[in-house]
Structure 1
Amino acid sequence: MRHSQRIAVSIMILAGASLACVRNAILPEMTDDEKIQATVSVLATQAARNPVRKPGEPAPTPTPDAPHTLPTLRSDPVKYYAQANDTYGKIARDHGVSLEDLIEENDILDENMLSIGQEIDIPPAKPVGQAPGFKIIPDSELVYGPTVVDFSVATFMEGRQGYLTNYSEEVDGVQLAGVEIVNKIAREYSVNPRLLLCLMEYMSGWITNPRPAADQVTFPLGFEDDNYKGLYRQLSFAANNLNKGFYLWQANALSNFILADGSVITPNPTINAGTAGVQYFFSKMLANPAWENAITAHGLIAQYQFIFQYPFDLGMEPLLPRGLRQPKLQLPFEPDVEWSFTGGPHAAWGDGAAWGALDFAPPGDMLGCNSSDDWVVAAADGTIIRADNGAVIEDLDNDGKEQTGWSLLYMHIESRDRVKRGTVVKAGDHIGHPSCEGGVSTGTHLHFARRYNGTWIAADGTIPFNLDGWKSSGQGTEYDGELTRDNKSIEAINGRQAENQIKR
């Protein structure tokens, strides 16, 4: 590195500049070797200034995780029939193939011409390589879990002059500061706020740069889509896709990554779920070699160590203890009142989280979003630690922290008569009335999900719901599933039918 560059980098380090600032201001003028040396210099200086281990103490082993069995890739085309809001690009992404291969397979002449019901041949994926096996973060740095109990976004941002400090935006009719938006996304999607902050800094410098470029102001997470302008929508997109990679990996259902240039990459079977989540997120924005740079030693992990510390020093393993069992839960409605089981295992939040939710609709023949006087009740003893925007969170270990132990999500709870935050409840106590409030809903119902240590627990996995002895299972398709007790099964059916009635 040239002497003047070395001095400039040192000055920026001493001033507390982020790795993104150093990279943007100095590194573009350097050779590749000098860039690497500068990055190493930044990290070495930061580590010396903020040691995180005692002398002689060994570095922790990155998240131990046995190699995963990857889904077998298809070898033959399959048929698909176009639906409303489909595009060729969306069809390609949803089926894990490149847009170029889809167009070639179907002899498509005009990418803008697609009609509902049109028959499409989905070719098999054609991977061009395998992703690196480099581990980026432990699983506990992806979820809103025990490692962030004492972490405050507001405290972290104190004294920093980045664009986030003075940013605000209207969300659902309420003006929220940038810090509040980060907290809201972290809580709702159950994604680690440190990871969200680090991604913002890596993609746009919002933590340290007071004047990002215009496109970085509009799209701070790098997803340049007019439907995702502003911090709230960008963070929602990021959190949803971090979750998607994380939970698909947990379920051995992540077959490939499709990069921004359409190339298909197979995962490395030795990574952990947290790493898979980060790789999946970056695949939505970056083409190679930028994607591979982001997920290896001089990418996000270097940024993480600079603004926080080595991510595996922050880890808590395992998030889900061996032999974990669900506590005793009852059906979340009053005795002798028949509800409809309308939704089997499906995403607990957004469409990226684990299929951790079940849906129940109250009695009555009315369709759509109508007021109901029936009660959703507590499924167990606990403390209400959040009750707003249609969501009620019950903490079952009564420590007042939704990041630790078991918590329950009751979603679409009407504001009328809704239980208050801080209320200690017993199983069977009133939570509120089902509605369409909060999120997207086409009809009055209860969306019910569980978390442990911030991790959404799948309803069709190894720890199924057990509600008064009714155990949940799935059929491999979202929303399809059953509740079974004593050899009797109730199938999830959208609507009110004799076959999907259930009561306590």
Structure 2
Amino acid sequence: MRKSYLLNVISGIAFILAGCVRSAPESPEWMPGSAVTYPTAIISSGMTSIPSFQFPPTRLPGSPILTPTPDNPRTMPTQRSGPEQYTVQPGDTLSDIARQYLISLDSLMQANGLIDSNTLYAGQILVIPQPSPQETGTTFKIIPDSELVYGPMSITFDLGGYIQKYAGYLSYYREDVDGNNLNGAQIINLVSQNYSVNPRLLLAVLEYRSGWLTNPQPAENTLDYPLGLQDNWHNGLYRQLTWAADTLNRGYYLWKIDGLPNAVMTDGLLVPLAPTINPGTAAVQFLFANLDNYTNWRADVSPEGFFPLYNNLFGYPFDLAIEPLVPGNLIQPEMTLPFEKEQVWAFTGGPHGGWDSGSAWAAIDFAPPGEAQGCVISNAWVTAVADGMIVRAENGAVIQDLDGDGFEQTGWSVLYMHIDSNDRITAGTYLETGERIGHPSCEGGVSNGTHVHLARRFNGEWIAADGSVPFILDGWISSGAGVEYDGFLTRNNQIVEAYDGNNPINQIQR
């Protein structure tokens, strides 16, 4: 019964190209020769089943391109009219505080007479300077939301074949990633899957910043830092792309909750973002703000900047739009708590990032029974929260597709993270609700103790655990407390509070 319900929900959603309102400017970057028709170089040779959605309709060759409809204006927080004070909390960094207040690190240090960004202690009082914004950013839309996420349209993209076609530096690049020697396509695919960011977007950003796709001998200064983010931690393609994917996610999900009124350039200048752009465009603008000064940023996000390169590589991006990507009436399918009946687990993490810190607060955490702390071996079992096919099981991550088409990019999917490789379920296995997935552990990602990290996506978009579609697990409803990892599960008059460890306030059972 549950399986039929899920398939009906997904198949009943019609994805169509959004309406358009006016002709686009008649300039070369707006005028590809023909409509996007998904040529052989784009269609993935690995497609073995039919996705549970409709591809966007294509334009007829030579038909006009219309500009995307502006979004309804977003109501952003009012700009601060004067300086504020902030009391440093344990674990704070100056970079985190500057990012929280959407100001530059340099302006924060200057306002407080600081020379070393590491000179910080709990209880210290900092002056948060008043922002000094520039002219509002452009209203030009760069990409639709569906080109930001690792969603339905990424299924059609043969990443490896596309890279080899251009025979650039990326086609023979290799790098060691966590003990595995990966080629360029494998690195981009790994980042795309983990962060749920479209591989086309990552590839286009890489080409725009370094020419790695088309140039077999790119500039010397791009070889260690191909995106131009130069610091000791982000050397090499993998770390450059993980930073880019996390930054794109941060811009995207903050914009969706009206939490990104400004972007701060590398020269410290602050620009209010136009309230009618879409989240995908806001994410791209935010990424380039973290890479360029004000003058270069204006060029990057203009119709003559990053957009024509994307358009030339993949066709007019709004021809690939799936809108709405997430329907306004979205309802989570029936789910249970991710462990076996009669066992008491600990609710150890309220809403927090689905993957890294930039994505929506899509995840919650549960730790198995036992008093032992840290990364210990557990014999407890993580179980399936719903019926569905396991489509990936590697590096501590298990992905379950709930709509039956075998693609994690369409409909609902569930991430179970930190699943021990011993006794772990294999990809290609269909599980019913409550069947065993594997043992909780610290494997994969970052973890300070044995637990399972549970997160949801719909059409590739992380679904916030503290948003309008919270987790509902055996009737327990998730909510947040405004601070990452803080939160609650509520059922009727019962409340369980997230706590990092074993405590009477966080005990829960099926």
2:85 counterpart letter in structure 1: V
Higher alpha-carbon Rg = 1
In 2, distance between residues paired with 1:89 and 1:463? Answer: 31
Q: 1:369 to 1:303 in 2, by over 3 A?
A: same
1:499 counterpart letter in structure 2: I
2:33 counterpart letter in structure 1: A
Q: 1:455 to 1:49 in 2, by over 3 A?
A: closer
In 1, distance between residues paired with 2:92 and 2:479? Answer: 30
In 2, distance between residues paired with 1:58 and 1:483? Answer: 51
Q: 1:58 to 1:322 in 2, by over 3 A?
A: farther
Q: Which moved more, 1:119-128 or 1:148-157?
A: 119-128
Check whether the contact 1:63–1:272 (CA below 8 A) recurs between aligned residues: no
Give, in angstroms, the shift of residue 99 of structure 1: 3.6
Q: 1:413 aligns with which of 416, 419, 424?
A: 419
Q: 1:389 to 1:72 in 2, by over 3 A?
A: same
How does 1:1-400 map onto structure 2 within 5 Å? 47=33, 53-54=59-60, 57-62=63-68, 65-75=71-81, 76-81=83-88, 83=90, 86=93, 88-89=94-95, 91-108=97-114, 110-111=115-116, 114-117=119-122, 118-400=124-406
Q: Which moved more, 1:326-335 or 1:127-136?
A: 127-136
Q: 1:265 to 1:41 in 2, by over 3 A?
A: closer
Q: 1:188 to 1:89 in 2, by over 3 A?
A: closer
Check whether the contact 1:220–1:234 (CA below 8 A) recurs between aligned residues: yes
In 1, distance between residues paired with 2:334 and 2:321? Answer: 29
TM-score relative to the length of structure 1: 0.88
In 1, distance between residues paired with 2:218 and 2:73? Answer: 40
2:326 counterpart letter in structure 1: L
2:116 counterpart letter in structure 1: E
Give, in angstroms, the shift of residue 57 of structure 1: 4.0
1:468 counterpart letter in structure 2: D
Partner of 1:12: none
Give, in angstroms, the shift of residue 94 of structure 1: 3.8
User: Residue by residue, what CA displacement relative to the aligned partner does 1:452-500 show, whole Å, maximum 9, x if unpaired?
Assistant: 0000000111100000110011111111111111122111111110111
1:197 counterpart letter in structure 2: L
Q: CA RMSD in A?
A: 2.1
Partner of 2:23: none
Give, in angstroms, the shift of residue 47 of structure 1: 2.5
Check whether the contact 1:414–1:435 (CA below 8 A) recurs between aligned residues: yes
Please state which structure has a larger fraction of its residues in helix.
1
Give, in angstroms, the shift of residue 112 of structure 1: 5.3
Give, in angstroms, the shift of residue 92 of structure 1: 2.5
Check whether the contact 1:60–1:313 (CA below 8 A) recurs between aligned residues: no
SS of residue in 1 equivalent to 2:327: coil
In 1, distance between residues paired with 2:432 and 2:105? Answer: 53
Q: 1:470 aligns with which of 473, 476, 480?
A: 476
1:111 counterpart letter in structure 2: D
TM-score relative to the length of structure 2: 0.87
SS of residue in 1 equivalent to 2:111: helix
Q: Which moved more, 1:156-165 or 1:120-129?
A: 120-129
Give, in angstroms, the shift of residue 138 of structure 1: 0.2
Unaligned runs of 5+ in 1: 1-38
Check whether the contact 1:359–1:448 (CA below 8 A) recurs between aligned residues: yes
In 2, distance between residues paired with 1:378 and 1:134? Answer: 43
Q: 1:478 to 1:113 in 2, by over 3 A?
A: closer
SS of residue in 2 equivalent to 1:483: strand
Give, in angstroms, the shift of residue 59 of structure 1: 2.9
SS of residue in 2 equivalent to 1:489: strand
SS of residue in 1 equivalent to 2:405: coil
Unaligned runs of 5+ in 2: 1-25, 38-57
Q: 1:497 aligns with which of 494, 499, 503?
A: 503
In 2, distance between residues paired with 1:105 and 1:231? Answer: 35
In 2, distance between residues paired with 1:457 and 1:444? Answer: 24
SS of residue in 2 equivalent to 1:149: helix
In 1, distance between residues paired with 2:182 and 2:271? Answer: 38
In 2, distance between residues paired with 1:382 and 1:307? Answer: 35
In 2, distance between residues paired with 1:257 and 1:280? Answer: 6
